[in-house]
Structure 1
Amino acid sequence: MTKANFLSLFLLMCCTMLMAQTKVGGVVKDQNGEALPFVNVIFNNSSEGTTSGENGKFYLQSENNHTELKVSFIGYKTEIIPLQQKTNLSLEIELQEETSSLGEVKIVRGKTSKKNNPAIDILKKIWENKRDNGVSAFKQYQYKKYEKLEFDLDGIDSSVVKNPIFNGMEFIFDYSDTNRISGKTILPVFINESVSMVYGDNIENEKREDLLGNKNSGFEQNQNLIAAVKDVYDEYNVYNNYIKVFDKSFVSPLSTTGINNYNYVLSDSTYIEDKWCYNIIYYPRRENELTFKGDFWVNDTTWAVKKINLEASRDTNINWVKELYIEQEFEVLNDSVFLISKDYFQANFSLTKKENSKGVYAKRTRVFDEYQFNIKKAEDFYDKRAYKFNEEVYIRDKQFWKENRLEELNREEEDVYVMLDSLTRVPAFNRIYDIATIAESGYVEFDGWDFGPVYSLFDYNQVEGFRTRVGGRTYFGQHDPWRIEGYLAYGFKDDKFKYGISGKWLLDSRSRLIISGGKRRDIEQLGASLTTNTTDVLGRSLASSGLVSVGDNDKLSNIDLSTVNLEIEPWYNFNVRFGVSYRELSSASPAFSLDYYTNEAQTETASTIKQTEISTILTYTPGRQTSGFGVERNVVNEEEFPTFFFNYTLGLKNVFNSDFNYKKVQFFYDQPLRIGGFGRANASLEAGKTFGEVPLGLLNVVPGNQTYFAMYNSFPVLNFYEFVTDTYVSAHFDHNFNGRLFARIPLLRELNLRELIGARAVWGEISEENKALNASGIPLRAPSRAPYYEYSIGVGNILKFLSIEAHFRGNYFDVPESRSFAVTASFGFHF
């Protein structure tokens, strides 16, 4: 989930009781009154159960009527507890030690033995018979998927009901419910249902999902919100060694390395749907690591997991999530292949992890059915993706849902639709929704247009002094086929107005054929980019600001840019863009120059560069997911896919008084990396070369960073224009261990800090001909005798939102006025 979307949902959700058939809750203790964790608690003569938490507490509910509760734990006598009522929420259960078997019992509260442990023997059988997800065993597959997403306010009590924020919305508390895992009183605030057909070809490595119907509470047209909600949940396979949840890689209890991270206890055995199964309880060996606790049932012949639940410990190093629970059920096909039949995911978002803190429950239920295999599709089947908004999918009638729901809504969920649809017509609720929208997009919405972005209203630098900027865009909906946006800025020191305006039009939605153009006159720091983004008519680099700079940030340029572009997407996530641009560049500061010689004798100079360019840009982003079908789409899985970028630029002399002929090629590759339980990394490689003679303003400046904040793919210890090249190769590597090391240090582990390391290097050269053109007074030096490099160490997750890194220069200490050390900070809402 993007940071903006997560913040939007958090603001939206954060700003009596209906009964199921049977509810039980309480605490399990031993004879000395000490809480017993990881105790197996199930409804007798069923497989519906849970395990007690670290504090011995448990909660369990069922849609069925049950009269007895079975409580069992290795080394203790099994207790059968009669249930006098449908709701029993204050049970205190005491287990007696089983003295006759104490000699056979291994340690069950603490570290269990890795040897002579029947639970681990069973685990090894699972590894030996380990299979990929069931559909992977076939050449082709297809199935129907029903998905239900819900968001619920947690901690509904009298203080919440009386809160002034709910004035005019008091009726919603009549619809409060009980969470089936925790037993807490909740208030549903969002529900979304969808039915899809999923097709896949394992030979061709293709997959397609066709949405058949979508229904939600009051936000039918807000596909950004729906996409943001869906992005809360990740796809995962419990048989993998690592399970990705909220951008974190948890060690799976079925992992081949699980015995190093978990304790395992064989707890029970019984028939589940005529299959004899063993029950194994597992829990973490160490605190603060990305691990789960829970139990699973495994068949004694196929050694396939029949049912599993996973619950993250509260001390797990993951932000904003107080509780995390996963439950999966599988069907065994022909005693060989297992197919997932049901998946349930639940997370409780909260500002703190205190027991009584209030938050938001996010829940997802998925049901899978109608499996079919080895039905080969036509060659172009997987190329036919949805390319325009189909309103019918979002207005399906009751008959459609009656026929396609794979799991019926209960009465409470049906009532929620009524409540939430009414809520969207309450002014107080719409005010909260508007605030969330501003937080997500940065724009204030009006009828047909938006004002913003509000984050760019004020700035400062040495050239402009204090600067103010106002802007806006047309916006009738996220599927708009055209959009116009622009801004007007004013500097109080240079007493000049600046502006930018852009327009784009989607000519063909199937091929995503878009024509766009724009004009910009502004002041920009060009020394913070390798020129891959200098045709942006609306953007402005953080490096242009003097509010957060180290030393003087006066090497700023005037830029007058006009562009016309045509782009098309011939294949999914493959974009081709043709563009023509005209730029005029000059110095914006008396302390800085872009001058160049105009004659061989070096007696005449020019201060303004006029240049016409034709460019061809190819961008490939495999795995990228987007929402919306208009001229602009939102990416819903940022930082989850690689990016390949290639740019070929042709500079044309004497076209619109252009000054230079040249050719320029650039290649960029960015790759997010998951390194198992060792965290997340990001690596990038960039290379470029300019053929022809060009002045400083058209060369490739190695991007320095004189700000106190992290800037993507820059060099924090370099000053602006410290290195200039016409040929370069640059590489960056950053890694976040996600607290893997700190979690093993007592006391420090309680802070949930995260270790950061990084390294970056660049090699480049500059021709003597380009040096001879330079009349700016800035020495043109390139890191040619050896690659320039930096390295960094840092600490992340300080107060859950701050990261601080220390950067060290590796060489080229002889460069005048160079820095050997720098500190940068970054802010963000990260899990």
Structure 2
Amino acid sequence: MNRYTYLLLIFLFSFNSISAQTKVEGVVNDKTGKTVPFANVVFANSAIGTTTNEDGEFYLQAEEKYDTLTVSFIGYETLKIPLTAAVNLNMEITLEESASTLEEVVIYRGKTSKKNNPAIDILKKVWENRRNNGVRTFDQYSYKEYEKLEFDINTIDSTLIKSRVFNGMEFIFDYADTNNVTGKTYLPMFINESLNKVYGDNILNEKKEVLLGNKNSGFNQTRNLIDFVKDVYDDYDIYKNYIKFFDKSFVSPVSTTGIDTYNYVLSDSAFVDNKWCYNIVYYPRRENELTFKGDFWVNDTTWAVKNINMETTRDVNINWIKQVYIEQDFKVLNDSVFLITKDFFMADFGLNKKKSSRGVYAKRTLLYDEYEFNNKRPATFYQQPVYNPQSQAYNRSEEFWSENRLEKLNEDEEGIYIMLDSLTKTRAFNRLYDIATIVQSGYVEFDGWDYGPVYSTFGFNDVEGVRTRFGGRTYFGQNDPWRIEAYGAYGFKDKKFKYGISGKVLLDPKSRLIISGGNRRDVEQLGTSLTNSTDVLGRSLASSSLLNVGDTDKLSSINLSVFSVEMEPLKNFTVRFGANYRELSPASPAFSLDYYVDEARTIIDSEINQTEFSTILTWMPGRKVSGYGVERNVVNEEDFPTLFLNYSLGVKDIFKSDFDYKKLQFFYNQPLLIGGLGRSNLSLEAGKT
């Protein structure tokens, strides 16, 4: 650490001392100089603590002021360290082996025994009583849920502060803070708050969420990001065998399979919220597995978990993820039921896993209150409406938030709104934001219309040679009730102009009644799928990519006109009636569509004309969408099954159609999460003509 960075950290620690009164950071060693991983580090006379990482390092922060730090681990003497200042950096702590341990020659530094281990005895009690915890014990339930999402740039150093990227935006570094889990400095860049009323029925196995309010830091186009993050941080249950996030399944330290995955040590016992609890520290038995390290507190009568924190170990391999930290708090409802009151999830995204590398924190805080039970509601109450704009929830007043937040924003969080409001008014930031929007969406935004997709501007194939394409769409906002798209393209080898135009309008938001139509004259690769749709602006890779793999000389010229009526009578179940007319001919001498017209095989035709009527049924249970306009964004892509059934009827002699035929197409896709092995997809595609 260079001198400037060290001074900067000291400044940032001091600057934020109002919101966090005590901060400690350092490393724990034994007398030989070896680090002590997974040691317990706690502020004395509190339940606020952490465990050292694989390198014996720790960082701990608390809102209150504490004057003593307790460091302990089985096999070592417990050490109490006076804290003479509010901020204590670069602490080097040395533990000594306890006399009793030396006599018994038992040091729990590696694997712990499964037999005669009081921690595992307590864990077995947790297993026996886990069904007596939470809202699952009641027939019906409801509660209020407050959610806070935040994104931060982390590892703020002199290089970043002096970067040209932030010219004209230097004031934002006045809002830098220190993360209370990792100890890294960070700069908040986005915050979103939402308030929900949640209803559930365990008999009907139904759940319903009603959005009461939503507020974010002022950026446009953030609804998709918010919904995506909420889907990534889906509900997880520590009592289940696996905890899933980022398409990975981690073994839960409280699960019945945890005994073969983790080492458990009974570390402490104390009163937590007037309930006597045991503290159990856990850490992985083996490296290179999807596991956590951390600790949890267990009540001694109900055997329910009172508090737990879980932190991924350094050798966990998740793309772009350096670290994940989870913390949950529970409260006592009665002698047999604990309810979750707080759920905190933080992920550290980065291009590499070096400690000094810069990344992004994505943090989600959930608070729960106002639990009610056994208030029975009819089954119709839980039916999710197809149309649910909830526009009023996005325009709540400051008075509403002051009265309904389950916890007040601290000074740092209030500062985020102030900082981001100022940031959105700077020209430099708006330039960066526009560039990021183009990269993410593929469109360049103008007033009322967008140019794009920019990635299709240039392409190449053997028929057209170099291909240029210019297109656009109407766009006034994510929830537009209608949209028109069009493009024109030119191939410099075949010297032909191509085009496409389509339009769609949402007539009835409640039933999602949509009428659409259009025409396209272009080149296309036929036969890539049994279940090709009639998307009028759909383009195969052969006509829209700059780089192609394989032959692209067997393309067809297509003239496609379509008209369809679509509706969604039930949530995620759509019915579509369509009609289309298609003319096909070879786009290259290297490819032929020749076929005999008569039974005697004397007349040959090289063009195909088709008039087709179709009925398409699509069911996507579990799909989550964002928005309520004519187009909606799917936020949990590849996380739900899809069933597609298409019955088509070809009619001869209508618009010079060449054939009578009946065609049935079926497609099924089922995502599968196989324990700790990862994600797989089961697909089935069939057709008959």
Q: TM-score under structure 1 normalisation? A: 0.79
Q: Do the aligned partners of residues 561 and 504 (structure 1) sit closer, same or farther apart at CA in structure 2, a change above 3 Å counting?
A: same
> Match for residue 181 of structure 2?
181
2:190 & 2:350 partners in 1: Cα distance? 17
Contact 2:619 2:643 in 1 (8 A): yes
2:436 & 2:495 partners in 1: Cα distance? 36
> Match for residue 537 of structure 2?
538
Q: Do the aligned partners of residues 398 and 534 (structure 1) sit closer, same or farther apart at CA in structure 2, a change above 3 Å counting?
A: closer
1:215 & 1:179 partners in 2: Cα distance? 23
C-alpha displacement of 1:61: 1.2
> Match for residue 260 of structure 2?
260
> Match for residue 799 of structure 1?
none
1:278 & 1:37 partners in 2: Cα distance? 21
Q: Does 1:303 align with 2:300?
A: no
Contact 1:208 1:382 in 2 (8 A): yes
Contact 1:234 1:246 in 2 (8 A): no
> Match for residue 554 of structure 1?
553
C-alpha displacement of 1:130: 2.3
| Counterpart mapping for 1:708-727 below 5 A | none
> What amino acid maps onto 1:361 in structure 2?
Y
Q: Do the aligned partners of residues 295 and 613 (structure 1) sit closer, same or farther apart at CA in structure 2, a change above 3 Å counting?
A: same
> Match for residue 593 of structure 2?
594
| Counterpart mapping for 1:470-481 below 5 A | 470-481=470-481
Q: Does 1:662 align with 2:682?
A: no
> What amino acid maps onto 1:218 in structure 2?
G
> Match for residue 279 of structure 2?
279
Q: Does 1:580 align with 2:579?
A: yes
| Counterpart mapping for 1:34-113 below 5 A | 34-102=34-102, 106-113=106-113
Instruction: Name the SS for the 2:402 alignment partner.
Output: helix
Q: Do the aligned partners of residues 551 and 624 (structure 1) sit closer, same or farther apart at CA in structure 2, a change above 3 Å counting?
A: closer
> What amino acid maps onto 1:456 in structure 2?
S
2:145 & 2:283 partners in 1: Cα distance? 31
Instruction: Name the SS for the 1:380 alignment partner.
Output: helix
C-alpha displacement of 1:222: 3.5
2:607 & 2:82 partners in 1: Cα distance? 89
Contact 1:133 1:237 in 2 (8 A): no
| Counterpart mapping for 1:322-337 below 5 A | 322-337=322-337
> Match for residue 465 of structure 1?
465
> Match for residue 199 of structure 2?
199
Q: Do the aligned partners of residues 104 and 124 (structure 1) sit closer, same or farther apart at CA in structure 2, a change above 3 Å counting?
A: farther
| Counterpart mapping for 1:414-813 below 5 A | 414-530=414-530, 532-543=531-542, 552-690=551-689
C-alpha displacement of 1:325: 0.6
> Match for residue 738 of structure 1?
none
> Match for residue 115 of structure 1?
115
After superposition, give the CA deviation of every residue in 1:739-798 in whole Å (9 maximum; x if it has no partner).
Answer: xxxxxxxxxxxxxxxxxxxxxxxxxxxxxxxxxxxxxxxxxxxxxxxxxxxxxxxxxxxx
Structure 2: gaps spanning 5 or more residues: 1-11
Contact 1:106 1:112 in 2 (8 A): no
Q: Over aligned residue pairs, what C-alpha RMSD do you find? A: 1.8
Contact 2:101 2:107 in 1 (8 A): no
Moved more, 442-451 or 381-390: 381-390
Contact 2:386 2:511 in 1 (8 A): no
Moved more, 223-232 or 368-377: 223-232
> Match for residue 234 of structure 2?
234
Contact 2:459 2:543 in 1 (8 A): no
1:117 & 1:543 partners in 2: Cα distance? 64
Contact 2:456 2:545 in 1 (8 A): no
2:360 & 2:537 partners in 1: Cα distance? 37
Instruction: Name the SS for the 1:422 alignment partner.
Output: helix
Instruction: Name the SS for the 1:311 alignment partner.
Output: strand
Structure 1: gaps spanning 5 or more residues: 1-15, 691-831
2:166 & 2:550 partners in 1: Cα distance? 50
C-alpha displacement of 1:131: 2.1
Q: Do the aligned partners of residues 671 and 273 (structure 1) sit closer, same or farther apart at CA in structure 2, a change above 3 Å counting?
A: same
> What amino acid maps onto 2:285 in structure 1?
R
> Match for residue 18 of structure 1?
16
After superposition, give the CA deviation of every residue in 1:108-146 in whole Å (9 maximum; x if it has no partner).
Answer: 222222222222222222222222862222222111000
C-alpha displacement of 1:545: 6.9
1:629 & 1:666 partners in 2: Cα distance? 29
Q: Do the aligned partners of residues 404 and 497 (structure 1) sit closer, same or farther apart at CA in structure 2, a change above 3 Å counting?
A: same
Contact 1:389 1:479 in 2 (8 A): no
Aligned length: 674
> What amino acid maps onto 1:501 in structure 2?
I
C-alpha displacement of 1:488: 1.0
1:179 & 1:546 partners in 2: Cα distance? 43
Q: Do the aligned partners of residues 559 and 469 (structure 1) sit closer, same or farther apart at CA in structure 2, a change above 3 Å counting?
A: same
2:170 & 2:545 partners in 1: Cα distance? 49
Q: Does 1:352 align with 2:334?
A: no
Q: Percentage identity across aligned positions?
A: 69
1:42 & 1:562 partners in 2: Cα distance? 70
Moved more, 599-608 or 87-96: 87-96
> What amino acid maps onto 1:18 in structure 2?
N
After superposition, give the CA deviation of every residue in 1:331-360 in whole Å (9 maximum; x if it has no partner).
Answer: 233222222110111111111111111111
1:128 & 1:613 partners in 2: Cα distance? 62
After superposition, give the CA deviation of every residue in 1:51-88 in whole Å (9 maximum; x if it has no partner).
Answer: 11111111111112222222111111112222212222
| Counterpart mapping for 1:120-159 below 5 A | 120-131=120-131, 134-159=134-159
> What amino acid maps onto 1:585 in structure 2?
L
Q: Do the aligned partners of residues 546 and 413 (structure 1) sit closer, same or farther apart at CA in structure 2, a change above 3 Å counting?
A: closer
Moved more, 220-229 or 169-178: 220-229
> What amino acid maps onto 2:16 in structure 1?
L
1:678 & 1:245 partners in 2: Cα distance? 13
Instruction: Name the SS for the 1:637 alignment partner.
Output: coil
1:323 & 1:639 partners in 2: Cα distance? 24
1:143 & 1:113 partners in 2: Cα distance? 42
2:106 & 2:214 partners in 1: Cα distance? 51
Instruction: Name the SS for the 2:124 alignment partner.
Output: helix
After superposition, give the CA deviation of every residue in 1:391-429 in whole Å (9 maximum; x if it has no partner).
Answer: 331221122112211111111211211111111111111
Q: Do the aligned partners of residues 638 and 552 (structure 1) sit closer, same or farther apart at CA in structure 2, a change above 3 Å counting?
A: closer
Moved more, 632-641 or 295-304: 295-304
Q: Do the aligned partners of residues 663 and 431 (structure 1) sit closer, same or farther apart at CA in structure 2, a change above 3 Å counting?
A: same
> Match for residue 742 of structure 1?
none
Q: TM-score under structure 2 normalisation? A: 0.95
C-alpha displacement of 1:461: 1.7
> Match for residue 29 of structure 2?
29
Instruction: Name the SS for the 2:324 alignment partner.
Output: strand
